[in-house]
Amino acid sequence: MTAYTIRGARAADGEPVDLFVCNDVLVDEPAPNAELVEADGLLVLPGLVDLHTHLREPGLEDSETVASGTACAARGGYTAVFAMANTDPVTDSPERARHIAELGRQANNAEVFPVGSITVGLVGEQLSPIAEMAAAGVRLFSDDGRCLMDSALMRQALELAAETDTVIAQHSQDHLLAGPDACVDERSVAGRLGLTGWPWVAESTIIARDVQLSELTGGRLHICHITTAESVDVVRWAKARGVPVSAEVTPHHLLLDSSLLSGLDTTFKVNPPLRGAGDIEALRAGLADGTIDIVGTDHAPHAAAAKRAAFPAAKPGMLGLEQALASVIETMVNTGRMNWSDVVRVMSTVPAQIGRAGGHGRPLRPGQPANLVLVDPDRRSMVDRERSASASRNNPYHGMDLPDPIEATMWAGRWTYRRT
Ligand code: DOR
Ligand code: ZN
């Protein structure tokens, strides 16, 4: 038996709490041989849940593996991650989904929920076996990295989502408006940098189409990484109509803006791109008022070689799991826009509800699984990309002075990370 008494912490609402862990659950009194953990000055929160993680295994293990990516998750306070389907091979069958979950169990750092692709091979032409994957336990389907452009297929996918009680997560980006050379935000920087832009309209027009398909079919739609003010407006409109839609913002789109691109450092290349100040303000306001439901990391490791290219040719994507809470503290808590209960809602409770990640995002009460994170709300440090569990080093926060909040993470009663 393993048992802990976590003493002297405060809950998200500021109330003092002592927590008693016995094996993998919270109990209502200390076990006789419980190890004492002093948590004075710390917050204790439910473990974080990420609906948008790229773990790269199978196929791109030099960028990340299930083991290294979930080690990042534990260091970032996460107890559950949803592994995006754009691996090689793509997660487009029940067998492949089961394999990802099994790799997660072997790594044993966090619970891994496989995301299934919406279309076979992410090609956008033929639906994956969504019903079979749903029967195998897949709760989220996404072609992330690419937008599912075909409206009729999107309608069918949402119909299947309604039938199977699953969710379609769309990377909203019209590939005809945002051509193959697009690599930075069109509105704020493309002209100045002499590069081809991703136009804002490529995102919100797809969202407008998809929320209407969601309304028509009753299928639940999740909008990955929204980045523009117009997208926030469309989601607000859809929610007012009662459409079953949820929206996500990434830690990097909350904190980082397109002025960072002036040196053409490919670390800052990401899809959708870093935007300008007006969009960032709309994202923060949308997260604070509930239009945007959750923070998802879009943790996207890339090996150095994939980033060591001319800007238009470099791979898009940046690391996210280890600094996600830091970004949310800096942009939302330290600015007074959200309190800690709001943070729990957008980083744990609601992502767990959307993905039906049973046992995660639960209140820290006796009888619940012992999935939790100890947080120092005031600690700060300079981010060093070398101090990372990732196999990659494309960390956009390197050298920044940021909150450094994660003291320890516990998944199913076991410490998956403790600050040393
Ligand atoms: O920047 C990105 N990187 N955006 C995506 O949608 C996919 C991701 C990746 O897989 O690298
Ligand atoms: Zn994406």
| Confidence label for 178 from pLDDT (cuts 50, 70 and 90) | confident
Look at residue 29 in the predicted model and tell me its pLDDT. Answer: 95
Give tens-digit pLDDT for 13-70. Answer: 999 999 999 999 999 999 989 999 999 999 999 999 999 999 999 999 999 999 999 9
Kindly tell me if the per-residue pLDDT of 157 is higher than 90: yes
Helix H or strand E segment including 151:
helix 151-164
Q: Which atom of ligand 1 is nearest to the CA of 302?
A: 11
Is 24 among the catalytic positions?
no
| Confidence label for 1 from pLDDT (cuts 50, 70 and 90) | confident
Q: Where does residue 341 fall: left (phi above 0), alpha (psi -120 to 50 degrees), or beta otherwise?
A: alpha
Ligand 2 is an ion; residues with CB less than 5 A from it: 144, 171, 224
Measure CA 22 to chain center.
29
| CB of 146 sitting under 6 A from ligand 1 | no
| Confidence label for 412 from pLDDT (cuts 50, 70 and 90) | very high
Closest CA to 387 of 417, 412, 353, 342: 417
CA distance 106 to 227: 35
Residue 173 Cα to ligand 1 midpoint, Å, equals: 12
Contacts of 139 (CB under 8 A, 6+ apart): 113, 166, 167, 355, 356, 357
Give tens-digit pLDDT for 96-121. Answer: 999 999 999 999 999 999 999 999 99
Contact between 56 and 107 under an 8 Å Cβ cutoff? The reply is no
Residue 270 Cα to ligand 1 midpoint, Å, equals: 7
- Out of 92, 279, 293, 298, pick the active-site residue: 298
267-287 mean pLDDT: 98
Kindly tell me if the per-residue pLDDT of 147 is higher than 90: yes
Contacts of 314 (CB under 8 A, 6+ apart): 183, 266, 269, 306, 307, 308
Give tens-digit pLDDT for 57-77. Answer: 999 999 999 999 999 999 999
Q: Which atom of ligand 1 is nearest to the CA of 144?
A: 6
Look at residue 89 in the predicted model and tell me its pLDDT. Answer: 98
Residue 34 Cα to ligand 1 midpoint, Å, equals: 43
User: In this structure, which residue's CA is closest to atom 4 in ligand 1?
Assistant: 271
Domain ranges for the chain: 47-362+385-400
Kindly tell me if the per-residue pLDDT of 179 is higher than 90: no
Look at residue 385 in the predicted model and tell me its pLDDT. Answer: 98
Give, rounded to a whole angstrom, the gap between the first and last alpha carbons of the chain: 24
Read off the tokens for 370.
């012992």
- Rg (C-alpha) for the chain, rounded Å, is 20
Residue 296 Cα to ligand 2 midpoint, Å, equals: 10
Kindly tell me if the per-residue pLDDT of 265 is higher than 90: yes
47-362+385-400 is classed CATH 3.30.70.360: no
Give tens-digit pLDDT for 203-222. Answer: 999 999 999 999 999 999 99
